Amino acid sequence: MIRLKNIFVSSALAVSAFAFSQGTFTNSTYPQSYDNQSSNSPKDFTSTEKLMTAKELVDININSLMSDPVLRNASWGFVIYDPKTKKVVSSYNENTPLVPASTTKLLTTETAMSLMGEKFRWITQLEYSGTIDADGNLQGNLYVVGSGDPSLGTNKAGASSYRDIVSDFVLAMAAKGIKKVSGDIIIQTAVFKANKSQTLPENIVWLENGNYYLPVGSTLEISPSNEKLIAKQSNPFAENKNFYYISPYIKQMVYADKFEGKGLTTKVPDAPAYLANTLRATLIKSGIHVTGKVIPRMTDPNPEKRELITAYQSPTLSDIMTYTNQHSDNGLAEAFLRTVGFQKSGDQTLESGRSAVVAHLNSIGFDTSGLNYIDGSGLSRSNLVTPIAQVKFLTGLMNEKFYKTYFDSLPIGGQTGTLKRMFNGNGNGQIFAKTGTLNKVKTLAGYMKTNTGKTLVFSLLINNYAGSVDQVKSKMEQLLQPALSL
């Protein structure tokens, strides 16, 4: 907790008093000389301000923001930590558990990196049973064997499209001499079978495959034969987004892939089934007749002897992690959670994933006293973490062998990912952090490169703020600006 009574010199009292008086009535809580600066111009401190250290300016900003209209009734915490001295530079409510939103992904992606390694890949195999006769007739079945690849067919992080994967599968079958399939195409997804029926974590009803909740809605009038999510036309949904929710009829996750203004048409997402059906259609179109159908098979008590035709490998875990952190991709983060659960416990349930992450955090000394880890993405409002726990976690990361890879995965202020539109003036290229956004929740945690060459670690978690997202983002920039001179 800051102690302002120790930082004021007599010549600075007038400046700080002026800052406090301005905080409630103007958009900026800096002294007026700060407020009049161009964000791209060099600092032009008055002689009075020059008497104050960067830490004193940070602490004055904290005190001023306590009474700012945007944060006056908010619950928020902030800490800047020096990883070399292992000391707190400045803080406010650093031990208060707060909703971290998508900064939760820091814990999920680091656990995956630690447990599985940078080079881990998901594998999707094409196999066959039976025999291939002299005429190229496969007397048996084709098998598409999945492993829970969350990037399959998405083009994310360099992943191949369904079309390219199927094209490679067809070419591999031709190389094997297969000209006809006298059997079925069987989808083997037993490893990740619960992915199709896994319910969402608590406190989530509507969510989009990105950063934002669907604001309101009801599934009571949705027809199970043609499910639609009823939404007001004024809601700013783009047509190219996917909107996820839990179907009240089948109790599974479904998503909308088309927005028509009045409602959202939906279907159950099933990447392996889509891949297998696309493969069957492409084979037939290419003149390779397939006698049977596409059949999903969760378990196989009497497995046939099978031979490998080819295998598709996902991008590396580090590549997918970078995409996840840069774009704050919730679906990929949840897949990471289930994958670490499978690696540790042999199943891919949400509970196993949670246990694996929390066990890992305990093993590295994470302070779990204020932690409530509910999901992998940060969408649940039941997630809680303290700012001080976040910065100490990020500090410990600096000693890991994969630290550079992890650091490079974070958005850069004013330049990349979800930070591209923040810190376009001061802080451009100096803030490396994960963002978090929910309704009335805005968070930021990561590293900053100061003007003096230091690397500092920080966490800023704001819950229940007033005003707009842009207003609270401006306050975050304002608070961190003088810290760049530490």
299-347, pLDDT tens digit by residue? 667 788 999 999 999 999 999 999 999 999 888 898 899 889 888 887 7
Lowest-confidence segment of 32-46, 83-97, 268-282, 443-457 by average pLDDT: 32-46
Q: Which residue, among 18, 38, 39, has the nearest Cα to 29 in the 3D structure? A: 18
Q: What is the per-residue pLDDT for 265?
A: 57
The pLDDT tens digits of the residues spanning 50-87 come to: 668 989 999 999 999 999 999 999 999 999 999 999 99
Calpha distance 476→462 (Å, rounded):
9
72-116+321-485 CATH: 3.40.710.10
Q: Which residue has the higher pLDDT, 50 or 421?
A: 421
Q: What is the per-residue pLDDT for 213?
A: 33
C-beta neighbour count of 69 within 10 angstroms: 15
- Report whether CATH 3.50.80.20 matches the domain 121-315: yes
pLDDT at 446 over 80: yes
The pLDDT tens digits of the residues spanning 249-292 come to: 555 656 655 555 555 555 545 677 788 999 999 999 999 999 99
Looking at residue 43, the DSSP 8-state letter turns out to be P
Q: Which residues pair with 453 in a beta bridge?
A: none
Calpha distance 279→152 (Å, rounded):
14
- Average pLDDT, integer, range 152-168: 93
Calpha distance 193→477 (Å, rounded):
44
Domain definitions of the chain by residue range: 1-68, 72-116+321-485, 121-315
The DSSP secondary structure of 329-371, one letter per residue, reads: -HHHHHHHHHHHHHHHHSS--HHHHHHHHHHHHHHTT--GGG-
Half-sphere exposure of 336 (CA within 13 A, CB side): 37
- Work out the mean pLDDT of the chain and round it to a whole number: 80
pLDDT at 215 over 50: no
Q: What is the per-residue pLDDT for 220?
A: 44
Q: What is the per-residue pLDDT for 191?
A: 53
Residue pair 458/391 in contact (Cβ under 8 Å)? The answer is yes
pLDDT at 6 over 50: no
When pLDDT is cut at 50, 70 and 90, the band that residue 44 belongs to is very low
Q: What phi, psi does 445 have (nearest 5°)? A: -150, 135
